[in-house]
Amino acid sequence: MKCELFRDLLLDYVDGALDADTLVDYRQHYGSCAGCAATQKMIEGQEGMLAALPHPKAPDTLWGRIQHEIADRRMLTSLDRPRLRFGGWAAAAAAALVAVSCVFAVGGRAPRREDPGLPVHVVDISAQPGAPALGRMVPGYENPVPAAPLFDTLLGAGK
């Protein structure tokens, strides 16, 4: 057996995990190599001292600290939840508002594409039923009758 293999097997030897055949070779090398024998003694000595070190006990205050920390975390989590919910609703409401604004913006802009040649559906607007018309609105392009441009229509309605 060479020194390198002896050192590979050393911890298994100290652990009592070597099989009988390997143990014979191992002991033979131990008897003939002073360096490896010294290494084994060093490890055995250290193992004894390390295993004999006092096992420190956890302080009695530890459980209380853990309980406080867990309780604090629970409280923070419960406070965070409504904020998240509110945040979610606010985001949804904002998104809806933006969507509605876009629809109105597009819808409102469409009649301003003033093209006298387009068929425009014109509706009279009055303050009360039966009262004189104050103006006209142009909600769509379904009316087959050609109409004047919107601006002219509104100005003309007041005359």
List residues binding another protein (CB under 8 A).
Answer: 7-8, 10-12, 15, 41-59, 61-63, 65-66, 69-70, 73
**Given the complex with another protein, which of 60 and 115 has the nearer CB atom?**
60
> Least separation, in Å, of the C-beta of 34 and another protein?
14
> Least separation, in Å, of the C-beta of 79 and another protein?
17
**DSSP string for the chain:** --HHHHHHHHHHHHTT---HHHHHHHHHHHHH-HHHHHHHHHHHHHHHHHHTS--PPPPTTHHHHHHHHHHHHHHHHHHHHHHHHHHHHHHHHHHHHHHHHHHHHHHHHGGGS--TTSB-EEEEE-SSTTSPP-EEEEEES--SSB---HHHHHHHHT-
**Given the complex with another protein, which of 45 and 119 has the nearer CB atom?**
45
> Least separation, in Å, of the C-beta of 88 and another protein?
24
**Given the complex with another protein, which of 11 and 92 has the nearer CB atom?**
11
**Given the complex with another protein, which of 66 and 91 has the nearer CB atom?**
66
> Least separation, in Å, of the C-beta of 21 and another protein?
20
